[in-house]
Amino acid sequence: MTVRESLGAVGRYVFVGFVFVFFALPLLWLLTAPFDAAPSVQVSLPDFTLQNFRTLWDNPYAMRSLGNSVIIAAGTMAITLVLAALASYALSRVRIPGRDTLLYLLLLLSSIVTGTAAMVPTFLLMTELGLIDRQLGVVLVLTGGLLPTAIFILKDFMDSTPRSYEESARVFGASSLQILRHVVIPIARPGLATIAVWAVVQVWGNFLVPFILLRSPDRQPAAVVMFTFYTEGGQPNLALISTFSLLFSIPVVLMYLFVNRRYGFRFHGGIKR
Amino acid sequence: MTTVPSPTEVDPAGAPSPEGGSRRARAVDDGDAAGLGRWRATGFVAPALLVVAVFLVFPAIWTLYLGLTNWRLTGLAAAEPEFVGTENYTDALSDPAFRNSLMLTLVFVFFSAIIGQSILGFALAWTARRLRPAVRSVLETVVLLAWIIPASVVAFLWLALLDRREGTLNALLGTDGTAWLLEYPMQSIIVFNIWNGTAFSMLLFSSALASVPPSQFETAKMAGAGTFATLRDVVLPNIRGHILTNTLLITLWTFNVFAPYLITAGGPQGRTEILGIYIYRVALRDGALGQGAALSLIMIIINLIVASVYLRLLRERRA
């Protein structure tokens, strides 16, 4: 190894060390504070206890908000999955005039009409429809935003599934819905699983849409409720916030790992955003 | 709700990856094997289109009208909004707060995304190639965690890190009592956003670098090219498309970011009031919905410009 190469190696590890500290430092708190008997905002070796999880369990708002997150995420995922599967299948198999233009137009719209840019018209629309402070409203708005990408990606999956099975099923007299259910969906399962996980991850962490559309604390999801955890003294309730943050983060991290392992293709980029 | 598919799935401009090349040669026959027929197919597509039309397309179009009214959240103008023409737009353009917000947004996007995330992401992807697999995967995991943990949680993690009295950063640097979020608010949210979003650029450039033919690296090495020359003559020509894709996407996303609201809420004195936060304040907190709709439209149009460049690339690639 030449001097230059070893200097390069040293430089590389110094850089990696710095970057590692930069990314890991804020995360450390999430590992120490939940288990600390007297959590502060500072990272420190915890005086180990599980008492904070008891505090979390006993807080009705915290547990309910996690339930709300599950409802909103599951609802959005289910509607997105069903509608996108139907649409992408039809678009993959039948040449509807203007199909490609339609797909690109939808994709364009979903990337420009973001929650942030469209918060005013979305808020007014939901007010007019009487869907303010209803979880259904949040689910519908989020579904509208996710569908174009879901259809776009699923159509790719549908395009790559063989058609010969469908032909045989048809010969045996299966209806198109039966074909979809018993032939196409089993074949496209990896694609559907991908979209399902992707949709849940998108919705789980979404703050803005439920923040502007939901008023009652007992309907708000975890992402919004988190910022209301204060002690009687007006200080953030750190025992509660830290355990809650941990519990709230674990599902998306697990789902990410699951998708990564199960469908090892380079899917990383799409799972968030 | 940013939902552009990632380039790792629909790789628009980059060089074809080894396994990606064959995927693109997809069988396009529309023989209608399932016997759907045009009508039933339309029936399958209709529900999805309806939801998209009502909750995505309609709000965008409605903004055109709303921005021309004096609609308010409460009071007389809430019941019967009046048509005020282009007043909201002229007001916005002459309002120092709006121009300030636009300027802050440019600074935020430029430094946190175009400079910060791109360069750090590339540097990580470049360095990671030569690390031991175990070290590489640990490094990539922390970068990814910063990206996939929900925004509300990471915002609080940064509030804890930068806390004035007990924050970990002050304890480490020995800068006790420094109020980072008051003294350096913009710098703080820029660094936060780099931390939060670099994973995407890292992943994109990792796959870009993997697509550079190894023989070209060999040739450069044999010719005695240094790191800089290799980057300029071998890497850059090969990943030009990826750089463009990455820049456009992170620009679009960062422009629409709302997470800094959870850290600074736009303050102190509007010093971190990027466009999304500004719209939220004007429209939903202060109640000037008509004004806010005009601002929304301006934001959608800027999005449209960036996104249409990106989609043109995407389409050329797939055609």
Tens of pLDDT along B242-251? 888 899 889 9
Q: What is the tens place of the pLDDT at every residue in B254-266?
A: 999 999 999 998 8
CA–CA distance, B27 with A83 (Å, rounded to integer) = 24
The predicted model gives B103-108 an average pLDDT of 95
Best CA proximity match to B208, nearest among B236, B250, B248: B236
Return the pLDDT at B153. 93
Contacts with B41 from chain A: Cβ below 8 Å: 90-91, 93-94, 96
For an interface test with A, give the residue of B149, B192, B246 to mutate (most A CBs within 10 A).
B149
For an interface test with A, give the residue of B129, B156, B176, B211 to mutate (most A CBs within 10 A).
B156
Predicted confidence band of residue B289 (pLDDT cuts 50, 70, 90): confident
Q: Residue B214 has what DSSP assignment?
A: H
CA–CA distance, B17 with B317 (Å, rounded to integer) = 13
Q: Residue B225 has what DSSP assignment?
A: -
More confident residue, B118 or A256: B118
Return the pLDDT at A180. 83
The predicted model gives B198-213 an average pLDDT of 89
CB distance B155 to B259 below 8 Å: yes
Return the pLDDT at A74. 96
Q: What is the tens place of the pLDDT at every residue in B2-33?
A: 344 443 444 433 333 333 333 333 444 445 66
Predicted confidence band of residue B77 (pLDDT cuts 50, 70, 90): low
The predicted model gives A102-110 an average pLDDT of 86
Q: Which of A37-46, A240-249, B3-12, B130-139 shows the lowest mean pLDDT across its residues? A: B3-12
Q: Which of A129-133, A219-223, B30-34, B269-273 shows the lowest mean pLDDT across its residues? A: B30-34
Report yes or no for ipTM above 0.90. Answer: no
Return the pLDDT at A226. 86
CA–CA distance, B134 with B111 (Å, rounded to integer) = 31
Contact (CB<8Å) A110/B3: yes
Contact (CB<8Å) A96/B45: yes
**Mean pLDDT of chain A, nearest integer:** 85
The pTM assigned to this predicted structure is: 0.85
In the block, tokens 């999801």 appear at A221
**Mean pLDDT of chain B, nearest integer:** 84
Cβ density class B276-298: b for 16+ within 10 Å, e for less: bbbbbbbbbeebbbbbbbbbbbb
Contact (CB<8Å) A249/B149: yes
Q: What is the tens place of the pLDDT at every residue in A147-178?
A: 999 998 888 888 877 888 888 888 888 888 88
Q: Which of B184-193, B196-205, B219-228 shows the lowest mean pLDDT across its residues? A: B219-228
Contact (CB<8Å) A24/B2: no
Contacts of B270 (CB under 8 A, 6+ apart): B97, B100, B101, B278
Return the pLDDT at B16. 39
